[in-house]
Amino acid sequence: MATKYRELVEEMLATAGIQVDGKRPFDIQIKNEDFFRRFMKDGTLGLGESYIEGWWECDSLDEMFARLVQTNLLEVYKNRLLLIFYYLRARLSNVGRKSQAFEIGKRHYDLGNDLFQCMLDKRMVYSCAYWEGAENLDQAQEKKLDLICRKLDIQPGMKILDLGCGWGSFIKYAAERHGVKAVGITVSEEQVKLGKEICAGLPVEIRLQDYRDVEGKFDCVVAIGMIEHVNYKNYKKFFKLISNFLTDNGMFLLQTIGLNKTLLEPDPWFEKYIFPNSMLPSIKLIGESIEDLFVMEDWQNFGTDYDKTLIAWHQNFLNNWEKLKNNYSDRFFRMWKYYLLMCAGLFRGRFVQLWQVVLSKKGIPEGYHRNIH
């Protein structure tokens, strides 16, 4: 039976041009023969867990995953029982409910500010950078922040709300460069602690708060990499709240990772190890949720830029591991490496996208024609 499992996996990988124990960087090197049975039994969860445990190696995980998604193999070899469980959970419960809002903060964003300081750019932007004309990560993230300000036509004196503000990178940039006042909210205690230090002396307030508890009116609202934690059952309420937050002439910018097709269940490995209670939206889910609330002014996709961003984060992580390893285990090292490089491969293979969507509350009378791209 063990031989049969190996044959099945070898045949499956071959369709993506990947060889077992081959010599190319994207080929997989087997260290434990039990890998084959585990992968066939547990699908993508088993694939990720067995990597963390050192059962297999690959010199270029990112390229391996790009090849796997281009042939749809990750979708085919998911654990069906787990997918049924997550699908039923998505249908029967609301994992984005308010009582669970802070779990993602505790389990992911509170891992340690030292980790993110070593991995991210100097402004600590934990979302996709914009690489057009940029030579490095710092420049690419600043270009992304500038792009958002231009898309929203940010002007001095405006009041801005940042939902899921992280360490305050965007509102700090907008306050310094454009003279705005801003409120940022996050569900991470560690982000609030460091964010307040980073933004000290600016007209910027960073709060530990769920988006459903925000009050007030704002000229612009942004959600940069935040809706992934909202859950589709809450999308309509989420967008209604944003409409209520905005002044009549206000605009909202949504930046999100997006799926090419609607999937309500998460990947089991990501759910367990990286982003609990999270899901990615599709065009359909967003479109249905903004009907009768907004005018869609602009929709830009620069998903391939996330590949470059993740590779830069991974390189920073590797370069700084000596500083981090006393606080994080070797198992964490393999898990985090797998997370970053798998995601890079998913974007490279165009399995997932990165969207910036600009919505106006009433429609811009003269039209949205600024030279922003």
**257-278 confidence digits (pLDDT tens):** 999 999 888 888 999 999 998 9
Q: d(Cα 308, Cα 128) in Å, to the nearest integer?
A: 9
* Beta partners for residue 208, in sequence order: 186
Contact 346, 65 (CB under 8 A): yes
Beta strands in the chain (DSSP E): 29-30, 56-57, 159-163, 181-186, 204-208, 218-224, 246-259, 295-301, 352-360
- Low-confidence stretches of the chain (pLDDT < 50) are 79-95, 371
pLDDT of residue 86: 37
Contact 169, 175 (CB under 8 A): no
pLDDT of residue 76: 56
pLDDT of residue 57: 98
Q: d(Cα 6, Cα 21) in Å, to the nearest integer?
A: 12
**16-28 confidence digits (pLDDT tens):** 999 999 999 999 9
What 3-state class would DSSP assign to 20?
strand
Q: pTM score, two decimals?
A: 0.93
pLDDT of residue 85: 39
Residue 65 corresponds to which tokens in the numbers above? 């995953």
- In SS3 terms, 46-104 reads as HHHHHHHCCCEECCCHHHHHHHHHHCCHHHHCCCHHHHHHHHHHHHHCCCCCHHHCCHH
Residue 280 region by backbone torsions, left for phi larger than 0, else alpha for psi between -120 and 50, else beta: beta
Catalytic positions, written as ranges: 343
Contacts of 342 (CB under 8 A, 6+ apart): 48, 61, 62, 65
pLDDT of residue 89: 42
Contact 208, 186 (CB under 8 A): yes
pLDDT of residue 365: 87
Q: How many residues does the chain have?
A: 373
Contacts of 72 (CB under 8 A, 6+ apart): none
The one-character DSSP state at 322 is: H
- Per DSSP bridges, beta strands 56-57 and 159-163 are unpaired
Beta strands in 147-260 (DSSP E): 159-163, 181-186, 204-208, 218-224, 246-259
Closest by Cα among 93, 77, 128 to 269: 77
pLDDT of residue 1: 63
- CATH code linked to domain 106-360: 3.40.50.150
Residue 30 corresponds to which tokens in the numbers above? 């087997």
- Per DSSP bridges, beta strands 29-30 and 56-57 are antiparallel
The proportion of the chain whose per-residue pLDDT surpasses 90, expressed as a percent, equals 79
Handedness of CA 124, 125, 128, 131 (dihedral sign): negative
- Per DSSP bridges, beta strands 181-186 and 159-163 are parallel
Domain extents in the chain:
2-78, 106-360
pLDDT of residue 90: 42
Closest by Cα among 293, 300, 288, 301 to 360: 293
Residue 223 corresponds to which tokens in the numbers above? 């959600």
pLDDT of residue 61: 98
pLDDT of residue 100: 67
What 3-state class would DSSP assign to 174?
helix
Closest by Cα among 113, 60, 130 to 373: 130
